[in-house]
């Protein structure tokens, strides 16, 4: 078994950094030893991650400045392409040394493709929209820090020049404000399953002592929710003075036209980004993991590039 220490080839360093985006640094050592038949110290992997991670972050920031909305000019609407695009956003928590748990904002941009699938609602096989060719970005910071990274990802995936696009997410206000700024032509869609959760909470509030009536009302109103008949939901809630529950449906009325969205081939679930958040957390929030802020951002970039397959291209750009 060879000992690989000291000076590393560019290729070896690339493998180290890529693998660190997949596994913990300790697990990387085991992989190199068992599969690569060489001994690479954990500290060596850590140093390459830091050095090259900083290069990758610098390149990403340079790209963001080059494609910022103020510097971009989109073509005429007649030149928009026909590939349907989608975007989703969400947040997750990362443990930062001396700061505690801080939020990372995560975004994904993807192509929307129709696929034949069994639809439980209709009991038939129908063409349902699914995400493919996904790209990821994640930033440890606030909305203003997240904005350029999301826009750069959207530009890389040609979302702004799409003839049809949508943003599907939960009801967080920051998401819709950012969507309105960056993607004003995109349909805004509240995740179907988040809406169902709110509907279930409203049913319990409407019939707090009668679980059967609450369940019956919930089942009836699910159809109304899907069909966009939100008056059937808000009117009894308003009449009962349950404005905290009805407000959600009043606010998102246009974002809950699920039948229309489905007929237009747009996704009504945000499971794509929720799964993405989990994949970032898998690498950054394992047992006992704590990061300093700069290291966390380097890993978020590397992890996203590894997940969406853009790591090698980014590496070449940084070279």
Confidence bin at 2 (pLDDT 50/70/90): very low
Q: For a pLDDT cut of 90, what percent of the chain falls above it?
A: 82
- Residue-level pLDDT at 221: 96
Q: Is residue 51 part of a domain?
A: yes
Mean pLDDT within 95-102? 96
29-50, pLDDT tens digit by residue? Answer: 999 999 988 889 999 999 999 9
- Residue-level pLDDT at 119: 81
Residue 108 CB neighbours (<10 A): 28
248-256 long-range CB contacts below 8 Å, 24 or more apart? 248/171, 248/198, 249/198, 249/202, 251/171, 252/171, 252/190, 252/195, 254/188, 255/176, 255/188, 255/189, 255/190, 256/190, 256/195, 256/225, 256/228, 256/230
Q: Is residue 35 part of a domain?
A: yes
**Contacts (Cβ under 8 Å, ≥6 apart) of 102:** 93, 94, 95, 96, 140
Would you say residue 276 has pLDDT above 70? yes
Number of domains in the chain: 2
Q: Is residue 282 part of a domain?
A: no
Domain boundary among 66, 98, 122: 66
What pTM did the predictor assign? 0.91
191-242, pLDDT tens digit by residue? Answer: 999 999 999 999 999 999 999 999 999 999 999 999 999 999 999 999 999 9
Domain boundary among 66, 89, 112: 66
d(CA 253, CA 116): 29
Q: Is residue 211 part of a domain?
A: yes
- Residue-level pLDDT at 37: 85
Residue ranges making up the domain that contains 34: 2-66
- Residue-level pLDDT at 38: 87
Longest dimension (CA), the chain: 76
- Residue-level pLDDT at 22: 97
Q: Is residue 249 part of a domain?
A: yes
Domain boundary among 16, 43, 66: 66
Q: Is residue 184 part of a domain?
A: no
């Amino acid at each position: 078994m060879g000992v690989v220490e000291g000076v590393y080839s560019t290729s070896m360093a690339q493998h180290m950094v890529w693998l660190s985006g997949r596994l913990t640094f300790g697990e990387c050592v085991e992989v190199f030893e068992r599969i690569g038949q060489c001994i690479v110290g954990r500290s060596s992997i850590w140093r390459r991650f830091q050095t090259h991670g900083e290069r990758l972050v610098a390149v990403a920031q340079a790209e963001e400045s080059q494609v910022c909305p103020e510097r971009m000019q989109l073509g005429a609407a007649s030149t928009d392409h026909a590939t349907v695009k989608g975007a989703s956003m969400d947040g997750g928590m990362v443990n930062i040394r001396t700061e505690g748990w801080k939020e990372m904002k995560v975004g994904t941009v993807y192509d929307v493709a129709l696929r034949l699938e069994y639809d439980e609602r209709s009991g038939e096989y129908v063409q349902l929209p699914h995400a493919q060719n996904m790209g990821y970005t994640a930033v440890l910071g606030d909305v203003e820090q997240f904005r350029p990274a999301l826009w750069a990802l959207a530009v890389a995936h040609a979302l702004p020049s799409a003839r049809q696009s949508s943003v599907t997410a939960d009801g967080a206000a920051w998401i819709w404000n950012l969507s309105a700024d960056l993607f004003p032509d995109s349909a805004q869609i509240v995740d179907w399953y988040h809406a169902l959760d709110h509907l279930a909470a409203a049913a319990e509030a409407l019939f707090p002592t009668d679980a059967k009536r609450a369940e019956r009302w919930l089942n009836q109103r699910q159809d109304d929710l899907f069909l966009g008949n939100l008056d059937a939901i808000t009117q009894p809630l308003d009449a009962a003075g349950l404005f905290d529950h009805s407000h959600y449906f009043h606010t998102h009325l246009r974002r809950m036209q699920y039948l229309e969205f489905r007929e237009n081939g747009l996704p009504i679930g945000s499971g794509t980004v929720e799964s993405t958040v989990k994949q970032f957390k898998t690498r950054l929030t394992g047992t006992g993991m704590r990061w300093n802020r700069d290291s966390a951002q380097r890993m978020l970039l590397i992890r996203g590039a590894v997940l969406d397959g853009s790591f090698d291209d980014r590496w070449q750009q940084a070279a």
